[in-house]
Amino acid sequence: MAEAQATKCVVVGAGPVGALSALYAARRGWDVEVYELRGDLRDASTTPLNFTKSINLALSERGINAMRQSGSTQLVDAILSETIPMHGRMIHSQDVNDHFTEESQQYDVHGRYIRAVDRANLNKLLLDEVEALPNVKLHFNHKLTGADFQRQRAWFEQHASKKPQTADGAQAHQAQIDQRAKEIEVDFDVILGCDGAHSSVRFHLMKFVRMNYEQSYIDTLWCEFTIPPAENALSRTASAKGGFATSPNHLHIWPNDDNMFIAIPSVDKTFTCTLFAPTASFEALERSPSNIHSFFHANFPGAADLVGEDELRRQFDQNPHLPLISIKCSPHHFSSTGVILGDAAHAMVPFYGQGMNTGLEDVRVLFQHLDAHPASADGRRVALSTYTAERVPDAHTINDLALANYWEMHAGVRSPLYLLRKKVEEFLSDKVPSTGFATQYSRVSFSNQRYSEVADTVARQGRILVGVMFGSFLLPAVGWAAWWVWRWQRASRTGISATKGAAGVGGVLERIGRAFT
């Protein structure tokens, strides 16, 4: 039986995941209120929570499908029209003659691609769509200070959107100190916590549910850089076109043993770049910033020329050097009244480009469970429980895959064994589709298969490939070696030189060893 009145839904966080959550809820007739700690995210002056530009992200099938399922077809078309296709990775290196090289590695044998999307524009389009609905209210500059998930009450501090305007700076400062934030109380039927890795909703949810929580930092920091458009760049690569300093249709990687530099295209023909390096490397560069140029020249051939020598030092000095956090928790809900989504539930390192896509997919999966049960408190209780049961293993899996993909991006892209497996799986996917083979990357980025199922399927594929290699190569090789041993023993008995026979066996075993190294 339906509830007597519309469900009151409070969404905390107005980023892409929060905005999509509000859109899904509003489409179902719920009364939706969105509360955001920062000012209006459509205002260019609003400072992101991580104090960086973070202007472009990788958008793939899971995120697109989640937005498509919101019922806003024109919204999806508008978003996709302002993205840039990235068909693969462009690996940058240097040959033995010190010439800069580029090697394109396609993402998918079937021609599928991911998209570079401007985060600010994506957020703006989602918020505009949400704000146009009559049953949605947006509240910016509101900080969640408390939540009671049993009494179904939440408290927010309402902060001024602008600093006091006075002629005297000291008076303005004092006015800010004297001004007390106004606290408001809000009732709700359900809270959707979409407020990021340092989620206040999750913090308060922990007081009501026995939540297993794991937070870790990896020994890698990151810093943003920008490659200007070709007309302003001091250098261009061979793949440059369309006003971009290098190929606009690739995710660019300068791989190295323990660090990496990447670049993602933007619609304004710039590239947003990220340096990933161990903490010790950052500390050394912070002590001697003038070494940033030699560091780049030694590790990322050609990248410094694209950014610009002067800009390289300036951007390293001015842009923050930030850690990478990984968060797992379980469960993701309490009773019928609270649930966390996106980074609030599963912050992950960025190496698979799935952070935002996973968060958007959370919304689709959550409302799929809600739609499968009665529109009542009891129905929501069951729905949130089944949502957690499905989503926790998937969230933990993509968290692990994202961390493991760091190796693939900075080392695997140059590994013959990794590239061989990729070619075999792509060949089978393309030429013998009945085998069901596909690469892990294609399953993660170009399908909606559950992450936990992806991991199981890829592991099974790996076992099959090893078995095929063993059956088609190792067993014949062992049989050949056994034949040589038999021949050597027979030759010894008949007086033929044992040394020659032993050398033959040794040569066989040596060749086998080389094949597996």
Q: What is the pLDDT of residues 17-42, one digit of tens each?
A: 999 999 999 999 999 999 999 999 88
Residue type, 424: V
3-state secondary structure 137-202: EEECCEEEEEEECCCCEEEEEECCCCCCCCCCHHHHHHHHHHCCCEEEEEECCEEEECCCCCCHHH
Share of the chain above pLDDT 70, in %: 80
Res. 431 pLDDT band, cuts 50 70 90: confident
Considering the entire predicted model, what is its pTM? 0.85
- Angle (deg, nearest 10), helices 119-131 and 73-80: 160
pLDDT of 466 > 80? The answer is no
DSSP state of 472: I
State the average pLDDT over residues 427-440: 77
State the average pLDDT over residues 256-276: 94
Q: Under a CB-based contact definition with an 8 Å cutoff, are residues 306 and 237 in contact?
A: yes
Q: What is the pLDDT of residues 2-22, one digit of tens each?
A: 445 899 999 999 999 999 999
Which residue from 192, 279, 275, 263 is spatially nearest to 229, judged by alpha carbons?
263
Return mean pLDDT, the chain: 86
State the average pLDDT over residues 35-61: 77
For residue 500, what pLDDT is reported? 43
Q: Strand, helix or coil at 79?
A: helix
Q: Strand, helix or coil at 138?
A: strand
CA distance 253 to 236: 15
Structural domains of the chain, with CATH: 8-87+114-161+173-215+326-408 (3.50.50.60), 216-323 (no CATH), 415-517 (no CATH)
Q: Which residue has the higher pLDDT, 280 or 429?
A: 280
**Which two tokens mark 477?**
């090789």
For residue 179, what pLDDT is reported? 61
pLDDT of 294 > 70? The answer is yes
Residue type, 72: S
For residue 2, what pLDDT is reported? 44
